[in-house]
């Protein structure tokens, strides 16, 4: 499905670029440049192409890694992670960060302002919303902000000894092979797999208005204290579903690519109408 959506997006990009070029050719005698739908497209497409480049790299790395795992012929259990795994993790971080820009101001508002009114409302309608706990907003937010709100300040006490949680990184800690498939386990938390976290965000942030980062809601920040204050023991944050850079990435990709396709369809319809 991801490959079909990616091909559909590429076709839309080519069509819009052709329309833009035809517009500039037919208006080549004009000397005044205005910030209209075509100038907006220049800014938006630059960011979008960056997102797609990073997604292409992620998808290519994932295929190579899965092929390598299959070639090892391990039917069940854990195997070591190849060094290319870190390169995949870096690209996934880049993809998440760049994709979030498509939904944020000032870029999103500039796109909306450049569209005719009826298309402006359509574009705002596809924007993923903060009040939708099952939408892209919170899933992307939780994944992207894992570095900005590191667990290094989240301490607890374990039998009188200072302890801190392991860092939430995109680094793949282990490759697990089971009958259900291949799992690339990270320390990130997958919102889609936890009703508890969904309910917590809805109660505390969406309905309650809390401004705390999600990580602080899950792991309250405390000052290190007790024995081992300066060398705390590490705790594994058990009880939460960890993000799988195989199936998790693919399911996230389907949502993200649908979102991009919907935006492009609206922009192309608006160009046709002008």
Q: Find the mean pLDDT for residues 183-205.
A: 89
Report strand pairing: 155-158 vs 181-189.
Answer: unpaired
pLDDT given at position 151: 54
Report residue 148's pLDDT band, with 50, 70 and 90 as the boundaries. Answer: very low
Report strand pairing: 181-189 vs 174-178.
Answer: antiparallel
Most confident of 25-39, 73-87, 113-127, 148-162: 113-127
Could you state, in order of their start, the residue ranges of all structural domains in the chain? 2-273
pLDDT given at position 252: 95
pLDDT given at position 2: 94
pLDDT given at position 150: 55
Secondary structure (DSSP) of the chain = -HHHHHHHHHHHHHHHHHHHHHHHHHTTT------SHHHHHHHHHHHHHHHHHHHHHHHHHHHHHHHHHHHTT--SEEEPPPTHHHHHHHHHHHHHHHHHHTTSTTHHHHHHHHS-HHHHHHHHHHS--TT-TTSHHHHHHHHHTTTTT-GGG-EEEETTEEEEEPP--SS--EEEEETTEEEEEEEEE-GGG-HHHHHHHIIIIIIT---S-HHHHHS------SBTTTSPEEE--TTSPEEETTHHHHHHHHHHHHHHHHHHHHHHHHHHH-
Q: Which residues contact 43 (CB under 8 A, 6 or more apart)?
A: 107, 110
- Provide the token pair at 65: 């890694």
Q: Find the mean pLDDT for residues 187-191.
A: 85
**Least confident window among 13-27, 63-77, 92-106, 237-251:** 63-77
What value does the mean pLDDT of the chain take? 85
Kindly tell me if the per-residue pLDDT of 64 is higher than 70. Answer: yes
The pLDDT > 90 percentage for the chain reads 44
Residue 6 to residue 164: CA distance in whole angstroms: 41
Report strand pairing: 242-244 vs 233-235.
Answer: unpaired
Top pLDDT among 154 and 25 is at 25
**Least confident window among 49-58, 153-162, 186-195:** 153-162
């Amino acid at each position: 499905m991801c490959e079909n959506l990616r091909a559909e997006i590429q076709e839309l990009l080519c069509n819009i670029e052709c329309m833009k070029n035809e517009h500039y050719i037919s208006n080549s005698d004009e000397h005044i440049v205005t910030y209209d739908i075509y100038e907006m497209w220049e800014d938006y497409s630059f960011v979008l192409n960056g997102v797609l480049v990073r997604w292409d790299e992620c998808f290519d790395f994932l295929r190579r890694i899965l092929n390598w795992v299959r070639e090892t012929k391990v039917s069940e259990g854990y195997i070591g992670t190849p060094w290319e795994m870190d390169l995949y993790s870096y690209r996934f971080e880049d993809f998440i960060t760049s994709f979030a820009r498509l939904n944020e101001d000032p870029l999103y508002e500039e796109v909306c302002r450049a569209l005719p009114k009826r298309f402006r409302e359509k574009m705002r309608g596809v924007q993923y919303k903060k009040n939708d706990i099952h939408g892209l907003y919170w899933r992307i937010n939780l994944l992207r902000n894992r570095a900005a709100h590191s667990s290094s300040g989240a301490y607890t006490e374990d039998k009188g000894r200072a302890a801190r949680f392991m860092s939430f990184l995109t680094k793949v800690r282990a490759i697990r092979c089971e009958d259900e498939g291949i799992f690339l386990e990270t320390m990130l938390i997958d919102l889609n797999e936890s009703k508890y976290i969904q309910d917590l965000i809805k109660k505390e942030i969406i309905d309650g208005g809390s401004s705390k980062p999600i990580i602080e809601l899950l792991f309250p920040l405390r000052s290190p204290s007790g024995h081992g204050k300066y060398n705390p023991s590490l705790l594994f944050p058990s009880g939460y579903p960890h993000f799988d850079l195989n199936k998790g990435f693919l399911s996230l990709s389907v949502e993200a690519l649908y979102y991009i396709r919907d935006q492009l369809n609206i922009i192309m319809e608006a160009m046709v109408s002008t």
